[in-house]
Structure 1
Amino acid sequence: MTLQEVSKIARKGEGLQVEFKKKVAHPEKIIREVVALANTEGGHLLIGVDDDRTVSGQRYIEEDIFLLNKAIHEGIKPAIDYELHTVSINEKKGVAVYTIPKSFHRPHYIIDEGRKRSFVRVEDRTVQASKEMWEILRRGKKEQDIIFRYGDKEMKLMQAFNEQDTITVKQYAKIAKLPRFIASKTLIRLVLANVLMIIPQEQEDLFKLRPTQED
């Protein structure tokens, strides 16, 4: 990868498939971005790029690469695939480009305070994956035909969508008078059946009807 190619990626700004870091100050936090990219649509993690999209580089970039590689190999489960390119700006500064493909082995996760935590990208942000998002990642790796019938609880959900664009698991459980775990399983199944789409959030994920081709 050339400096011109790095600059082209940087000019587009951070987004679903691009994340910038000036330096590897806290590798245990940066690997969350790597996990999120692999769990979502893949993309590029750039080390040595400022928030304003300036490709300023980092002094002794090899040290940053060593720290981040170590964190990736030791902290992410299951092991993750990536390509690494180092681009020199001058004798002292360089940029590291981690290219992470969308992974078939998702959900990837880290162990944080004894708990498994997974992450996904939402626009230009990384958010922790909910239990529902985790299950959708796990079961959505393979193409499969999800068969379900529209029963009473599904009809109540569709009626709710006549009045609001999005719904949370908690809202659906209340509307349909369901235990939370049943509401959760129903929404997961409808996402896997391509009836609904999930919008991960910091607090509660949102579910909405997937647009049809006519829409």
Structure 2
Amino acid sequence: MQLSDVKRLIRHGENATIEFKAKMRHPEKVVKELVAFANTAGGHLFIGVHDDGSLAGVKYPEDEIFALDRAIEKYCKPAFEYTVHIIDLTEDSSVVVYEVPASDNKAHCVVNNELLHGRQAFVRVADRSIKASKHVKEILDRQSKNKSIQFNFGDKEKLLMTYLENNETITVNEFKKISGRNYYQASRTLILMVLANVLEIHPHEKEDFYTLKGVGLG
């Protein structure tokens, strides 16, 4: 990776695959960004870049790398692949780039009892790393096992498909209401249909929602 690559990647600001940090002040908190990249579509973490995208650089890049590598080893389970690049800006200033590919071994979690009270998966949504719901985590876990999924396409599933033909999205609570199923049954149906590639789940901090697979949101 060269400086021209850095400038190209950061020019549009933070997004689903790009995160900026001016310095590595709290590596135990920063690891969630890397976990979110691994659990979603991959991404790049830039250390030495301000929130506005300006290049600040860091004086001692090896110290930044040492601190974050230790935090990754200590707090991230299971381990995920990543590559580290040091890009010199001047003789005494560099940008550090952590490049994380999308993982095949999801769901990766941050295990930090002091900060999170246990094990927590994260996913990337727009320019933020958010906690994955238990439904998202289950889907990530089961998708990584790559097992075929079968389910009965009955009246409730037909009702769901009809609803989504007239409405872009549906939540578990909305499906529970229209189908007469309890929360557990409604969530099982939606999860199975995601695993069968009929639906797509969209993580959200308040409540996840679902759409038909391949249908973009308006």
Normalised by the length of structure 2, the TM-score is 0.90
Identity of aligned residues (%): 44
In the aligned structure 2, how far is the partner of 1:151 from the partner of 1:115?
Answer: 38
Could you say which residue in structure 2 is the equivalent of 1:54? 54
Secondary structure, aligned partner of 1:166: coil
Tell whether 2:122 aligns with 1:119: yes
Asked whether 1:175 is paired with 2:170, we answer: no
Matched to 2:169, the amino acid is T
Residue 175 of structure 2 is aligned to residue 165 of structure 1: no
What does residue range 1-215 of structure 1 map to in structure 2 within 5 Å?
1-113=1-113, 114-211=117-214
Shift of 1:142: 4.6
Pairs aligned (count): 213
Measure the CA separation in 2 of the matches of 1:137 and 1:164: 25
Output the CA distance in 1 between the equivalents of 2:110 and 2:181.
Answer: 32
Q: Please, which moves more after superposition, 7-16 or 97-106? A: 7-16
Distance 1:27 1:174 in 2: 43
Q: Which aligned runs of 4 or more in structure 1 are off by greater than 4 angstroms?
A: none
1:116-174 alpha-carbon deviations (Å, 9 max, x no partner): 11011112221111111101111112544322222132123223324422111122122
- Matched-pair contact (CA < 8 Å) for 1:10–1:55: no
Distance apart, 1:61 and its partner CA: 2.3
Rounded to whole Å, the distance in 1 between the matches of 2:173 and 2:58 is 46
Distance 1:63 1:36, change over 3 A: same
CA deviation after TM superposition for structure 1 residue 175, in Å: 2.0
Return the TM-score normalized by structure 1: 0.92
Kept after mapping to 1: 8 A contact 2:75/2:112: no
Larger CA deviation: 135-144 vs 97-106:
135-144
